[in-house]
Chains A and B, each alone.
Chain A
Amino acid sequence: MLYLDPSSGSMMLQIILGGLAGAAVAFKLFFRRVRAFFGKAEAAGPESAETPDGV
Chain B
Amino acid sequence: MEFEPGSFRDRTGRVFYRGQNVCRALTAPALAEWEALRGKAFLARGMAEGRIVATGRAGPEVQLPDDPGSDWAAVLTHERVPFISYPYEWCFGMLRDAALLQLELLAAALAEGMTLKDATPYNVQWIGCRPVFIDLLSFRRWQPGEPWVGYRQFCELFLYPLLLEAYKGVPFQPWLRGRIDGIPPRDFLRLLSPRDLLRRGVLTHVYLHARSQGAWKAPARDVRGDLAAAGFHKELILANVRNLTKLVRGLALPRRESVWSGYGEEPGYRPEDREAKEGFVREAVAGQRWERVWDLGANTGEYSRIAAGNADCVVALEADRDAVERLYEAGRREGSRNVLPLVCDLADPSPNQGWRGLERKDLAERGRPDLILCLALIHHLVIGANLRLGDFLDWLAGLSPFLVIEFVARQDPRVRGLLANRDAELYADYDLPGFEAGLAARFEILRRREIADGRRILYFARSRQA
**A: which residues have CB within 8 A of B?**
1-4, 6-19, 21-22, 24-26, 28-29, 32, 42-43
Given A15-B236, A17-B240: A28 in contact with B149 (beta carbons within 8 A): no
CA of A36 to CA of B112, assembled, Å: 35
Q: Do residues B233 and A21 form an inter-chain contact, with CB atoms below 8 A?
A: yes
Q: A14-B240, A17-B236 are in contact. List 16 more A-B contacts (CB 8 A).
A: A1-B12, A4-B153, A6-B148, A6-B149, A6-B150, A6-B151, A9-B211, A10-B151, A11-B223, A12-B223, A14-B232, A19-B236, A25-B227, A28-B231, A29-B226, A32-B229
Output the residue of B205, B213, B214 with the most chain A CB within 10 A. B213
Q: Do residues A28 and B230 form an inter-chain contact, with CB atoms below 8 A?
A: yes
CA of A12 to CA of B204, assembled, Å: 12
Proximity string of chain B (128-168) to chain A, C-beta cutoff 8 Å, 1 when within and 0 when not: 00000000000010000001111111010000000000000
Contact count A vs B, C-beta below 8 Å? 113
CA of A7 to CA of B150, assembled, Å: 10
CA of A10 to CA of B155, assembled, Å: 10
CB contact between A7 and one of B152, B211, B226, B232 (< 8 Å): that residue: B152
Q: Do residues A9 and B151 form an inter-chain contact, with CB atoms below 8 A?
A: no
Given A3-B11, A43-B229: A9 in contact with B214 (beta carbons within 8 A): yes
Within 8 A of A (CB), among B213-231: 213-218, 221, 223-224, 226-227, 229-231
| SS class, residues of chain A in contact with chain B | helix
Given A2-B117, A2-B149, A6-B149: A21 in contact with B235 (beta carbons within 8 A): yes
Q: Do residues B239 and A21 form an inter-chain contact, with CB atoms below 8 A?
A: yes
Residue of B whose beta carbon sits closest to that of A8 = B216
Residues of A within 8 A of B216 (CB): 8-9, 12
B237 within 8 Å of A (CB atoms): yes
Given A6-B147, A25-B227, A29-B230: A18 in contact with B240 (beta carbons within 8 A): yes
Q: Do residues A9 and B209 form an inter-chain contact, with CB atoms below 8 A?
A: yes
**B: which residues have CB within 8 A of A?**
9-12, 29-30, 33, 117-118, 140, 147-153, 155, 204-205, 208-209, 211-218, 221, 223-224, 226-227, 229-233, 235-237, 239-240, 243
CA of A6 to CA of B153, assembled, Å: 8
Residues of A within 8 A of B239 (CB): 17-19, 21-22
Q: Say how far A41's CB is from chain B's closest CB, in angstroms.
A: 12
Residues of A within 8 A of B218 (CB): 8
Residue of A whose beta carbon sits closest to that of B238 = A18
Q: Do residues A14 and B237 form an inter-chain contact, with CB atoms below 8 A?
A: yes
Residues of B within 8 A of A2 (CB): 117, 149
Q: Do residues B12 and A8 form an inter-chain contact, with CB atoms below 8 A?
A: no
Give me 14 A-to-B residue pairs in the complex whose CB atoms sit less than 8 angstroms apart, sorted by A's number.
Answer: A1-B29, A2-B117, A3-B11, A4-B149, A7-B152, A7-B213, A12-B215, A14-B148, A17-B205, A18-B240, A19-B239, A19-B243, A21-B233, A22-B236
